[in-house]
Amino acid sequence: MLSTQLPHDAAYAALQARDARFDGRLFVGVTSTGIYCRPVCRVRLPRRENCRFFDTAAQAEAERFRPCMKCRPELAPRALAWTTVDASRTLASQAAAWLDACDDAEASVEGLAAHLGITSRHLRRIFQAEHGVSPLQYLQTRRLLLAKALLTDSTLPVSDVAFAAGFASLRRFNAAFVEHYRLQPTALRREGGGAAPASRLRLSYRQPYDVAGVLAFLAPRAVAGVEVVAAGSVTRTLALTHAGERFAGWLRASFDKPGQVGVELSPNLWPAVGSLLPLLRRWLDLDADPEAIAAALGETAVPGQRLPGCLDRFELTVRAVLGQQVTVAAARTLAGRFVERFGELLTDAPEGCGRLFPTPGRIAAATRDEIASLGIIGRRADSLIALAQAWPTLAFSRREGSPEAAAAELTAIPGIGPWTAGYMLMRGWSWPDAFPPGDVVLRKALGGAGPLPSPKAYLEAAERYRPYRSYAVLHLWRTA
């Protein structure tokens, strides 16, 4: 399926200009070579009649094009359709997000359809219409491109690459790689000159990116023992589940090259990189569209503003509860005590990152007095215990359901109100159009020099920022 987003003459013009604004939104397959590239590729410009344009890498691979070794399509930023009024497009986008985070080697269309509450036939139809490929073709491309990145940028053995990328066996991985890329995985590693001595992920984003603003937001919220924010980098600990197994370690994200983030992982996190990768992109908001955001925020917007997300929704929810009605500094102090008391020790971690954030199971088993002894008021301790006990049953915790359903789940827990739920949608869900109700700073900012606006007037004043009200929140907090 050829791209329908741009007239092909316009697509070729973007390719001629090597226009980075189209990176991740456009791919070109060259019929004379059988290779597909990003529009920013520095190789010799192909002839117009030899070019076929696609919206996604999966579409190019479905037409039997192989990824370029120089521009590396697996590094392209993703193009996200955040908002839509069409129900079918919304479902297709949710299906793609589910597949992006899928760590089940035996994932099926039937399982995905059941997750979405629709028939497998309807899923195939809407997915093909929106993405130009079947769900399984999309998933296969995602896994193969991740494997290609790991073969190029890591020292993982090929068998570990297959597992990390989501393949059920080395035999299946080798067969799929040879079928699609007509190259053995080991040959790709040799062709690339061998893996770098220090394994490192490379994640691309669309420029500009307000690195200073993102680090300035994260630094005062960094929890002792878990996170360290330094000049140009963030280091932190993390535990996550991949293919049914728990992995724990540390990572460091460094903004040391324009347009790209380098991510160093501790050895025991590399096998879980397939599940970690979409979390990293959401955490640092690497797939945002800076031009569209700037247009929504107006002339006073900081170029390249991003909305920092999270790597662990339980952690962020706990921190949001601890931060209720206290300053950022006080919330950070309470979170540090919380980690020191309930967090698991992590050996061989960088300085300042020696503990994992407490698990839901550990907090569910804690007593009110244990938590309150840290200086946390009793009813907030009750709220944290209730949250931890409910966590395994929440669709929100599994990254399922709609933002509206997630907000309803959260506010049903004692001690979590609409403001906290709105904040969680912003950062835990990475929803671009959330707006926490009743925020005093925002009410002052939107009310100008006059009296505080009513709740209704407050929400009406925020309408001008749609569909990027979450970014407007950070913008207004920053400028207040």
Active-site amino acid positions = 37, 439
Backbone phi and psi for residue 345, each to the nearest 5 degrees, phi listed first: -70, 145
The first and second tokens of residue 380, run together, are 């907030």
According to DSSP, the β-strands at 66-67 and 227-230 are: unpaired
Residue 378 is classified by DSSP as: H
Pairing of strands 245-257, 233-242: antiparallel
* Residue closest to 248 by CA, chosen among 236, 239, 256: 239
Which residues fall within 8 angstroms of residue 316, CB to CB, at 6 or more apart? 310, 424, 427, 428
Is 388:257 a contact under the CB 8 Å cutoff? no
Strand partners, 358: none
Tell the burial category of 105 from Cβ atoms under 10 Å away from its Cβ (0-12, 13-18, 19+). middle
Give the distance from CA 298 to its chain's centroid: 25
**Backbone dihedral angles phi then psi of residue 259, each to the nearest 5 degrees:** 80, 5
Q: How far apart are CA 49 and CA 213, in angstroms?
A: 44
Neighbours of 155 (CB within 10 A): 16
Output the furthest CA–CA distance in the chain (Å, rounded): 73
Q: What H or E segment, with its residue span, contains residue 51?
A: strand 51-54
CA 243 to chain CA centroid, nearest Å:
18
The Cα 52–Cα 43 span in angstroms is 16
CB 37 within 8 A of CB 28: yes
- First-to-final CA distance of the chain: 48
Only one residue has tokens 């009813």, namely 379
Do the beta carbons of residue 271 and residue 265 sit within 8 Å?
no
How many Cα atoms within 13 Å fall on the side-chain side of residue 362? 16
Reduced to 3 states (helix: H, G, I; strand: E, B; else coil), residue 480 is coil
